Amino acid sequence: MEECAYKLVQYLQEHACVPANQLAQQFGVSERTIRSYISHTNSALNGAAKIITKRGQGYSLAISDQAAFSNLLSAYESQAKTGMPQTSKERVSYLLNDLLNRSDWITLDEFSSVLYVSRRTVSDDLKSVEKILKRYHLELVRRPYYGLRVEGCEMDRRLCLASLVIGSENGRPGIGSSEDDQMLFRVYACVDDVIKQDNLPISTVALKCVVIHIVVAIKRIHQGCFIPMPANIDNQVFSAHMLKVAKKITEKITTKFHVDFPDSEVAYIAIHLAAKETLDNGTLTKDTVISEGAWELVNEMLEVVWKDFRFNFQRDIELRMNLACHIVPLMVRLRYRIPVSNPLLKDIKSHMPLAYLMAVDSSSILVKKYNSTLSEDEIGYVALSFALAIERQHTKLPKKHALIVCASGMGTARMLAVKVQKEFGQYIDLITTCDVASLSHANLTNVDYIFTTVPITIPLSIPICQVSLLFNEKNTNDVRHALYKHERQKTCGHFSQDLFFSHMKIKDEQEALEFLSEAIERHEKLSHDFYDLVMQREALARTSFGNMVAFPHPIRPMGKHTVVAVGLLEKPIDWNGLPVRAIFLSALAEKDDGIRDFDRSMAAFLMNEMAIKILLNNQSFDCLLSLLTHYSEMSSEEPLLEESL
């Protein structure tokens, strides 16, 4: 029985018959939730009692077996007093903590007896336990007549144990008792003192994580479980200064807790300090060296961004330094599979979608180097560096060439040109003029937009905006609309009804990519290795990033046109651990100067939960084009219009 069920039973024992709205008010939930509580409680009562409905009066408690009912309440009260877990989430933490701290076998019956729940309940909770263990490369082994236990290396055990504390709501459970809380406080004082003395750049959040790992280490050493000396330790893992800090910390802790730290355990603490260093503040210690290898990795990451997004960051020294500073501790985390959490992840994906996609693609270099996939949290931190770089390029927008056409003479045309320059100079670089009679003979090769005070009857493939000589507010908005209308049309032009597939029944990622790749090959007359190139890219880093979306593409641009095949599924499929229902397989052209605008639009669209929800509910090509038009506009560096769908 869980706490909500116990409280509901207690309340109904004290009140003869209670209307649903009164129960909802008492527990601060909706009437629908109350009905859910009642259903759950009746299952927990297991026939000893039942909450029944009396028409027109409300709910009441009917006890059929007083002895069994009293035993259920007593069992709950006993558990509550001893601090035993009550919910499934609490039991999963308890089971993990128990299994990770034991080397012997334990049976389901033993867990069932300790937790006061059935074998089936324990078995169901162990499914969640296995999923968590798998993330830390640990295995829950079952053996007939023996029971079960966790197998895996000591470092992975400790990482998992620490996650129980780091990921908890109050930041303290999982380790256990108030005595453990005191240990956390005392270890924190030791570590904080050394960190301040040596001016080690580490955030408060990262410092707390290091302390938790040290507390776990102390408890494991007391149990006789030690970390073996990590293989291939060199100055790229941690500096001599970092090792010195780790030794100072262990010396302080030894005097307080009477625990000896062998060299391997000192190295373990140094690894955690190196993994947390500069995570949040992007600075380096005085003796940290950015190796040639780290610089080369950054160079390769920027090459990927150039190929996939046509953003040239090669000369952005600030971005290079930010990425290099981040890669130094990141290399340690990847090498030793040390996880991090990113509280800004949701905001990064929502407000910096293009930077996040750049981080996703460029992370393939790190995956290939360290054979370890970056988590979404890690990708989010990399995205922050790209977001700053994009912002620095914000003031360097590609400007347009405008032609002013006027029938009343060159003087009025020049006057209009001055007004256009004044209003829209940040978007327009070159303005030329001509009269309407000369338009048919004018060289329009590099002209992006035409603004005219008179109707133009000859057919032209350039966007035309007709305005009055005296600019009013409506004229200004019309011009602004013209400046971006063509860009929005270009984004939609990458999509074709022939490459739009709705309500698909697909079983897995491979089937989806085979189908969409074949469709693009056929539509664009591409070589038959397109699918192989897509799979090569998938092998480097996942192209699913939440929001039910996957955005796969080949490992290199190919073809003459940038096109996107869209597959909308009936049911979600697993895509490298994330559910996906909307697949946008893109084939980037080998030469496409408009790819930056395309990527901005796609990033804004794919990261928007409401947009994808609308598309999946509608699943029509017209709906897709409408959404793309809207988000192409919103993705402009300086959005000029706000149109609703």
Contacts of 22 by beta carbon, 8 Å cutoff, 6+ apart: 58
Contacts of 167 by beta carbon, 8 Å cutoff, 6+ apart: 341
pLDDT at 474: 56
> In whole angstroms, what is the distance from residue 533 CA to residue 234 CA?
36
3-state secondary structure 248-306: HHHHHHHHHHCCCCCHHHHHHHHHHHHHHCCCCCCCCCCCCCCCHHHHHHHHHHHHHHH
> In whole angstroms, what is the distance from residue 285 CA to residue 279 CA?
12
pLDDT at 282: 45
pLDDT per 10-residue tile (average), the chain, 645 residues: 78 86 82 83 86 86 88 74 72 92 92 84 92 92 94 92 71 50 87 87 80 91 84 59 89 88 90 72 49 84 87 84 84 83 82 87 86 84 88 65 73 70 69 80 82 79 68 56 52 84 92 93 86 86 83 85 91 88 89 70 83 92 86 46 30
Strand order in the sheet with 428-435: 428-435, 400-406, 449-452, 464-466
Cβ atoms of 547 and 376 within 8 Å: the answer is no
DSSP 486-552: HHHHHHHTTEEEEEEEEEE---SHHHHHHHHHHHHHHHHT--TTHHHHHHHHHHHS--B-STTEE--
Pick the CATH number of 292-392 from 3.90.550.10, 3.30.365.10, 1.20.950.20, 1.10.1790.10: 1.10.1790.10
Residue range(s) in the chain whose domain bears CATH number 1.10.1790.10: 292-392
Cβ atoms of 350 and 611 within 8 Å: the answer is no
Region of residue 114 (phi > 0: left; psi between -120 and 50: alpha; otherwise: beta): alpha
Q: What digits encode the pLDDT tens for the residues 257-288?
A: 888 899 889 988 988 888 876 544 444 444 44
Pick the CATH number of 400-471 from 3.40.50.1380, 3.20.20.300, 1.20.140.10, 3.40.50.2300: 3.40.50.2300
611's tokens: 């947009």
The helix (run of H) or strand (run of E) holding residue 564 is: strand 563-575
> What CATH number was assigned to the domain covering residues 491-634?
3.40.930.10
Cβ atoms of 595 and 562 within 8 Å: the answer is yes
Pick the CATH number of 178-276 from 1.20.1740, 2.30.30, 3.40.50, 1.10.1790: 1.10.1790
Residue range(s) in the chain whose domain bears CATH number 3.40.930.10: 491-634
Does domain 3-81 sit in CATH 3.40.50.2300?
Answer: no
> What CATH number was assigned to the domain covering residues 83-152?
1.10.10.10
pLDDT at 512: 93
> In whole angstroms, what is the distance from residue 438 CA to residue 440 CA?
6
* Residue (of 64, 61, 78) closest to 5 by Cα position: 61
Cβ atoms of 552 and 538 within 8 Å: the answer is yes
